[in-house]
Chains A and B, each alone.
Chain A
Amino acid sequence: EAQVTQNPRYLITVTGKKLTVTCSQNMNHEYMSWYRQDPGLGLRQIYYSMNVEVTDKGDVPEGYKVSRKEKRNFPLILESPSPNQTSLYFCASSLGRVTYNSPLHFGNGTRLTVT
């Protein structure tokens, strides 16, 4: 089954404790992206990657890191999480550049709570 898989689904952590949220897709997609979703603010892009070893900042990259060492994987790293990073996170992928015939497909989400 074609899908974007994120882990974990739920994560509660404390301020400053490094964490990684994994994302993997099995569709051979070139483009991958991370979004966070907050009430009233909608989905905001954190980072994106057009291909292996090619990553770039989105609208809210502060406090996050990503890497794209393999085409299928795009982990999101929080080196020193803070409470304002408490959010619902989505990984997404598309075949290539996001267009009407190459839409974004989302993973199931990771709900992160930082205390």
Chain B
Amino acid sequence: QKEVEQNSGPLSVPEGAIASLNCTYSDRGSQSFFWYRQYSGKSPELIMSIYSNGDKEDGRFTAQLNKASQYVSLLIRDSQPSDSATYLCAVGTGFQKLVFGTGTRLLVSP
């Protein structure tokens, strides 16, 4: 079992819709959770971090964490074509590193 799993996609949504991206992790001791956005050929860019169960909102983005189910999600409201990218879920294991999922490719069509 991979440490951090994401559906590779692509996830296709129309402009203005809500995009829902999901991630599961295997290490129950994980403490910090991150969502990065990566455009093709570019570096990962931090969108949000979360550490406690529940929701955290920042503009059009909401991160959701459920430690009991070992599940992290990212909701993008009012999706825009510029949101089309690969979204990386990363989990902080406490061993001085982040473990990354392989990413979900999001396509937002005008």
Contacts and interface: CB of A to CB of B under 8 A. Distances in A.
Given A42-B100, A99-B92, A108 B33 contact: no
A45 interface: yes
Contacts of A45: 97-98
A59 to B, nearest CB: 8
Number of contact residues on B: which range applies? Answer: 20 to 34
Contacts of B21: none
Contacts of B100: 35, 42-44
B94 to A, nearest CB: 8
A11 B49 CA distance: 33
A42 B88 contact: yes
A100 B43 contact: no
Interface string A31-55: 1010100001111110010100000
B32 interface: yes
A106 B97 contact: no
A104 interface: yes
Contacts of A40: 102
A107 interface: yes
A98 interface: yes
